[in-house]
Structure formats: structure tokens, C-alpha cells
Structure 1
Amino acid sequence: MGEVIGEILPLALGIAISPVPIITAILMLLSPKARVTSVGFLLGWIIGIVVAVTVFTLLSSLLPEQDADASKPIQGIIRIVLGVLLLLVAVRQWRKRPRDGEEPKLPKWMQAIDKLSFVVAFGLGFLLSALNPKNLLMAAGAGVDIGSGDLGVGGIVGVIAIFTVIAASTVLVPVVGYLIAASSLRGPLDRLRVWLGHENPVIMAVLLLVIGVVLIGKGIAAF
């Protein structure tokens, strides 16, 4: 179990450090309906992560069983493909970085966050975590690691829980912190939102590059 946890940690961090959901959560915390929308978004974000990694874990467990010491070409090919896709997304993110003096533009849907209800915020959190292409690639990589890790049901549930807590932590911490100490966090959250808005493409490009290389290396090692 410890080995599988070690393998999924970079992938969980890849989801956790993604700036878009963090910016979204911060915008909700700075909106008039902060407590309603932020909690809805957090729940949707967590459930989306659980659903995505569980689905890929179940799919991975359907692959033919092999001797623990034998090569695993199927898992290797899957990891290499996922790694290459992450490298392509990293290149795309790098090209989207703002030029010197250029102000980054927030997506139009972020500009309507003040008007969101609990249900819509929940749905947005679910979509960003479960159906976002970058997150899906990392959830797929984690699912392959968990499904091929020769774990029992309890072990699988435990590893998925650890993956979810780490992946959701960067949304969970500011939301819970705001619910406890709203007035003292508004300034720091707003400054963090501005910084993430500027650095989002660079952060994601570097992160995806590192994780993509790791997956490709793990895929090659499986042969």
C-alpha cells in the first residue's frame, strides 16, 4: 500500500496545484454568497475527484493479471500515452502564458460567480474535477497505479481517500479557513487570486511537464 501511495502522490499534487479551481474557490469566498457557493463548490470538487479516480481504478482492475515480477506492457503503454498527453498539454499551457505587460483575462464564467447558487456551484466543482482533461489524465494515471497495485478493497478505498484529500486540499483549506476566520482572510485570498491569475499557465506547464516525464519513466520501467 505504501508503494502505491508513493506512486500517486505526484498525480494528486498535480490536481491540487491546478490554479483554476483555487481561483474559482477564492472568487466564491470573496462574493456576497461566499458560504453557500464555496461549500457547494468544495463538495462538487471532492466528489468529482472520487468519481474520476474510482472509475479509472475499476477500469484498470479489469486488465489481465500478471506475475508481480513480470513485465507489464499494457500498464506501461497506458502510462507512456498519458505522459505524452500531459507533455502536450504542458506545451499548450506554456504558449498561453501572458506576455510582458499583458493582463491575463479570466474566463467569462468566472465573471458570473457572484450569481451562482449552491447547486450550480456544486455542479461547477464536479465538472472542473471530474471532466477537466488535465485532471482526467492525472486521475487515469492514479487509477492505473491503484488498480494494478494488488490491493484489497480496504486498501483501494484507503488509497483513493488519501489521493482525494491531497488533491482537494488546496480548495478545502481556504474554504474551511474562511468559514472559521472570514474577516482576516479576505486580503490574503485576494492577493493570492491575483498572483495565481498571472502565473496560472506557467505553473501548470511546469507541473504537467514534471508529471508527464514521471509517467513516461514509469511506463518505460514497466516493460
Structure 2
Amino acid sequence: MLVSVLTELIPLALVVALSPLSIIPAVLVLHTPRPRPTGLSFLTGWLIGIAALTTAFLAVSSLLGGLDRKPPGWASWLRIVVGAALIAFGIYRWLMRKKSAHMPRWMQSLSKLTPARAGGTALALTVVNPKVLFICAAAGLAIGSAGLGSSSVWAAVVWFVAVAGSTVAIPILGYAVSGERLDDALARLKDWMEQQHAILMAVILVVIGLMVLYKGIHNL
């Protein structure tokens, strides 16, 4: 059961992990005057934010009677709703891709963050970003409705947070180890994602939405 849940969480976590709005901020904070402490502070806030949101919706699932019981019927319908919403949002992002060709102004300001503000900023970004909030809600409810034991529930939460936060952790931890040697590669990555982020996000949302939708229909 646990392996099945961990497998199911991967596509949800990838929506967060592969989002340009996750990766680009992680790269931008490495262009601040103090990149190492700022990056590590940002990473800490980002992981705490994802964990807190997922745990909050896990608690909601517990109130609905999902923990330690046979998976309820509404869990499959939840997956269907989540999958359909992801597909619809992906199509919307595709249609609006030309209007989303430039990086938002608020994101450009991330390259001026201090270490003291980076953690709080990352935490706030997880809460105010509808996509992250929506996916963490889906993950928390999916974990809580799977009928897992207590230890398995928390293992699933840790797994989801690790995968969802991996693309923020990799450049920041890589820079902490390698330093300025990554500057050119990170700059190229940032430029490419700025140009392609709308198309990337649309494709990722539709593909993962189809996977989640199929899982929900299959379990009915």
C-alpha cells in the first residue's frame, strides 16, 4: 500500500518540482550579494512551506475519517477532480502562453533578497502560489485517504516534500558545494526557463493531469 501511495505522489510532486515558478526563484536567489546563506535560507523556507501545507490537509483528511481505514470512495473522485483541474489549467496556460512570455516583476526582485528575508519569502511563496497550495492539498488528502498507518503516513509526507522540493534543493545545494563554478550554467538555465516557462508549465500540467485522472478513474 505504501509503495502504491508513494508512486501516486510522484506526479503530484512533479507539478511543483518542475514548475518554472519553483526553479527560477531558486536560481535567482543564487544571484544575490550573499548567495550561499540566502539560498540555504530560501530552501529551508520552501521545504517548511510545502510540509506545512501538506500536513494541514492531511489533518483535514483525518477529520474526514480517512486515516487508518480503507480508502473511501471520495478519494477516487478527488483524483478525478484534481486531474481534470490540472488539464484545464494546462490548456489555459497554453492559450495564454504569449501573454506569459516574460518573467513577472516580483520574481526579478528575488535577486536582491537578504538571507534574513529569503526564508520568509520562500514560505510565503508556497502559500500564495495557487498551484503549490492546490497540489499540496491534493497530496495531503491523497495520503490521508489511503488507509495507511501512522508511520507510513509520515513517510509519505517526507517523500512528497523531498520530491516536490528537489528542483529547488539541487541548484542551491550544488552552489553551496561548488560555488561560482555553477554561475554560467545557472545563468543559462534561468534565461532558457524565462523564455519557455509558459509552454513548459502548460505541457507539464496536462501530462500530469492525465496521469492523475487515469488513476482516479481506474480506482472507481
Which AA in structure 1 matches 2:158?
Answer: A
With the length of structure 1 as denominator, give the TM-score of the two structures.
0.88
Whether contact under 8 Å (1:86, 1:134) holds in the other structure is no
Identity of counterpart residues, as a percentage?
37
Q: 1:111 aligns with which of 108, 111, 114?
A: 108
**In 2, Cα distance between the equivalents of 1:143 and 1:122?**
23
Which AA in structure 1 matches 2:31?
Answer: L
Whether contact under 8 Å (1:51, 1:130) holds in the other structure is no
Q: Which residue of 1 aligns with 2:79?
A: 79
Whether contact under 8 Å (1:93, 1:201) holds in the other structure is yes
Q: Which has the higher helix share?
A: 2
**In 2, Cα distance between the equivalents of 1:170 and 1:138?**
16
Q: Which residue of 2 aligns with 1:59?
A: 60
**In 2, Cα distance between the equivalents of 1:140 and 1:219?**
16
Q: Which residue of 2 aligns with 1:17?
A: 18
Q: How many residues align?
A: 218
Q: CA deviation at 1:213?
A: 1.8
**In 2, Cα distance between the equivalents of 1:154 and 1:110?**
38
Q: Which residue of 1 aligns with 2:137?
A: 140
Which AA in structure 2 matches 1:23?
Answer: I
**In 2, Cα distance between the equivalents of 1:64 and 1:46?**
27
Runs of 5+ unmatched residues, structure 1 = none
Q: CA deviation at 1:217?
A: 2.2
Determine whether 1:174 maps to 2:175.
Answer: no
- Superposed CA offset, 1:176-197 (max 9, x none): 1101111210000000001111
2:165 partner SS: helix
1:126 partner SS: helix
Which AA in structure 2 matches 1:74?
Answer: W
Runs of 5+ unmatched residues, structure 2 = none
The range that moved more, 6-15 or 140-149, is 140-149
Q: Which residue of 2 aligns with 1:91?
A: 91
- Superposed CA offset, 1:131-185 (max 9, x none): 3111222222222221112212211111111111111111101101101111210
With the length of structure 2 as denominator, give the TM-score of the two structures.
0.89
Whether contact under 8 Å (1:90, 1:205) holds in the other structure is yes
Q: Which residue of 2 aligns with 1:27?
A: 28
Cα 1:7–1:114 change in 2 (3 A) is closer
Runs of 4+ in 1 over 6 A off after TM superposition: none
Q: CA deviation at 1:105?
A: 2.0
2:101 partner SS: coil
Q: 1:215 aligns with which of 195, 212, 218?
A: 212
Give the RMSD, CA atoms, in angstroms.
Answer: 2.2
Determine whether 1:45 maps to 2:42.
Answer: no
